Every structure is written in structure tokens, then in C-alpha cells.
């Protein structure tokens, strides 16, 4: 994303009478500065944003579906500022990059492979899947887990939010098959040992909400971690829902997304 800066101007004024300097003044001003827009070939820009292939761009131009700065585009090769381009009268979809928060329904997979069943990408505009860089999920939720999943074309952000080094908090609501005992709070706080004892989780926070429901906050992303942690404590997870991932939440005011709904959100500061 482009960053704004500032330009400083300094001037020296000297008043001279009869060859003698009387007064000297410095004038110092700071003015906002914005970088020059990056110009790209029109066909490459349209292709990267999923509107068409580079070869197909000429047909959009021929049909007068593309304008640049209010004029019909003349050549697929012309260099353009993305902010000045319209397709079918609409601005381009997020040429600076995209970050989507989606409330994943039950039964959907976080895979691009249509052979695996219903995909989260089927819930988004079709052309977004043809963007370059490709949109991907930030981590994954399994088929039987619902809730917040982020989708982006920013690979650095994916690493920032999923790398174990960054310890990004994730909040889940868990429903289990039997009444929760208070000792699970201490077990999670100490770090649950998984499986045959060869792998220990980092400490996590459990808040018991009702007899069979708890909120769990953790900052790791091991395979099926929440289900395995509860299994290690003698419970079977019947429902799992993620409501928060780092600074993003499904249930902020004005941001209460229903199942299958999504919205574009700002990149983290």
C-alpha cells in the first residue's frame, strides 16, 4: 500500500540596505506529499485483477467497456493509473490488494480444489479467483468448523497472521458432548499435551459459558488443534465456531456477518 509522506521547503531571506544586511529570516514549510501513481499496461492490470486474460482485453476495449480518465481505452498496451480505469462504468476491484472477512458456513472447505466439495471461494465474486497474486485463505478451518476466515492476495499478511513467531490470538466457541469440569481451565493454562505425549500446546485460555459450551483463546495453529486439545482432556467436540482472528471479529458493531456473508476489510496497521 502506498504511504503518504511530506516534503519540507526552506528559504533564506536577507534584507539588504546600502550594502548592509539588516535582518535574516528563515522560512520553513512542510507540505503533504503523495507518491506518483504506478502506471501499468492496461491488459496486464485487467488480467491481474481477474477481469480477463491479457489476450481477451482487446475485446473489452472493442466493446467499449473500458474507460481511462473518462475516455474509451484505445490500446491494451497503454500505461494507466488503476484509479482512473472503469470497467462497465465501475471502478476496478481493489487494485491495491484485497482482504476479505468471511463467515464460513458448515460444510465448506478452504481449498481451491472443486473436487473437495463446496468451497469458500464459491461465496465470493467469481473473477476474484483469477486474480494474480491469487487469493488464498489465511490459515484454514476444517469442513466441520464454522466462522471467521480471512481471504487475501497479500502473501506477507498471510505469513504475519499465521507464523508461530507472531502469536496471533484466535477465539473459538466450543460445544462438547459432556459437562465441562472446572479443571479444564488449569489444564489449558498449563499447555495441553496432545496424542501420545510427544507434543505440548502453548498455554491457552478457557472460559466456561454453560454446561457444555466454552470460549477458547489460543495463539497457535496446529492441525485440528482445538478438537485434539479437548480430546486429550476427555471431551468430544460437537461444534466449533471461530469468532475472532487477531484484530478481526465477526461480531463488532456494524460488522455482524451471517453464515456465508463476507465483507472487504482494511489491512491491519
* Catalytic residue from among 122, 142, 144, 256: 142
Q: Is residue 147 part of a domain?
A: yes
Q: Which domain holds residue 58?
A: 39-91
Return the minimum-mean-pLDDT range out of 12-26, 123-137, 143-157. Answer: 12-26
**Among 188, 231, 240, which Cα is nearest to 213's?**
240
C-alpha cell at 203: 498455554
Residue 253 has pLDDT above 80, yes or no: no
25-to-8, 96, 262 alpha-carbon distances in Å: 16, 44, 58
Global pTM? 0.84
Query: Could you report how far apart the first and last alpha carbons of the chain are, in Å?
Result: 11
pLDDT one-digit tens code per residue, 12-37: 555 556 655 555 555 556 556 566 78
pLDDT, residue 12, reads 56
Helices and strands of the chain, counted as H and E runs = 5, 19
Backbone angles phi, psi at 45, to 5 degrees: -60, -50
Residue 11 has pLDDT above 80, yes or no: no
Residues 108, 119 contacting (CB under 8 angstroms): yes
**Among 113, 100, 130, 146, which Cα is nearest to 241's?**
146
Q: Is residue 105 part of a domain?
A: yes
142: annotated active-site residue = yes
Residue 2 has pLDDT above 50, yes or no: no
pLDDT, residue 33, reads 54
Q: Is residue 11 part of a domain?
A: no
Residue 217 has pLDDT above 50, yes or no: yes
Do residues 225 and 191 both lie within one domain? yes
Rounded average pLDDT over 172-201: 94
Rounded average pLDDT over 203-213: 98
For CA atoms 56, 58, 62, 64, the dihedral sign is positive
Do residues 149 and 187 both lie within one domain? no
pLDDT one-digit tens code per residue, 51-63: 999 999 999 999 9
C-alpha cell at 43: 491488459
- Domains of the chain: total: 3
Q: Is residue 8 part of a domain?
A: no
Do residues 79 and 191 both lie within one domain? no
Do residues 144 and 256 both lie within one domain? yes
Residue 210 has pLDDT above 60, yes or no: yes
Amino acid at each position: 500500500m502506498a504511504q503518504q509522506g511530506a516534503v519540507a521547503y526552506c528559504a533564506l531571506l536577507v534584507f539588504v540596505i546600502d550594502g548592509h544586511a539588516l535582518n535574516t529570516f528563515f522560512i520553513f514549510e512542510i507540505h503533504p506529499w503523495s507518491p506518483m501513481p504506478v502506471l501499468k499496461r492496461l491488459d496486464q492490470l485487467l488480467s491481474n485483477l481477474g477481469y480477463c486474460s491479457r489476450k481477451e482485453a482487446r475485446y473489452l476495449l472493442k466493446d467499449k467497456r473500458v474507460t481511462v480518465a473518462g475516455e474509451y481505452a484505445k490500446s491494451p498496451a497503454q500505461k494507466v493509473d488503476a484509479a482512473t480505469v472503469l470497467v462497465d462504468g465501475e471502478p476496478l476491484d481493489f487494485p491495491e490488494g484485497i482482504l476479505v472477512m468471511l463467515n464460513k458456513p458448515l460444510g465448506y472447505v478452504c481449498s481451491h480444489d472443486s473436487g473437495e466439495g463446496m468451497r469458500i471461494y464459491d461465496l465470493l465474486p467469481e473473477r476474484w479467483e483469477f486474480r494474480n497474486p491469487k487469493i488464498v485463505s489465511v490459515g484454514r478451518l476444517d469442513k466441520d468448523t464454522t466462522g471467521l476466515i480471512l481471504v487475501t492476495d497479500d502473501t506477507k499478511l498471510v505469513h504475519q497472521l499465521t507464523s508461530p513467531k507472531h502469536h496471533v490470538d484466535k477465539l473459538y466457541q466450543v460445544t462438547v458432548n459432556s459437562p465441562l469440569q472446572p479443571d479444564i481451565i488449569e489444564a489449558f493454562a498449563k499447555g495441553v499435551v496432545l496424542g501420545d505425549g510427544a507434543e505440548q500446546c502453548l498455554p491457552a485460555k478457557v472460559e466456561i459459558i454453560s454446561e457444555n459450551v466454552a470460549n477458547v483463546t489460543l495463539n497457535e495453529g496446529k492441525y485440528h488443534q482445538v478438537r485434539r486439545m479437548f480430546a486429550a482432556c476427555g471431551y468430544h467436540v460437537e461444534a466449533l465456531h471461530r469468532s475472532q482472528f487477531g484484530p478481526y471479529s465477526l461480531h463488532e458493531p456494524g460488522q455482524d456477518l451471517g453464515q456465508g456473508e463476507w465483507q472487504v476489510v482494511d489491512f491491519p496497521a
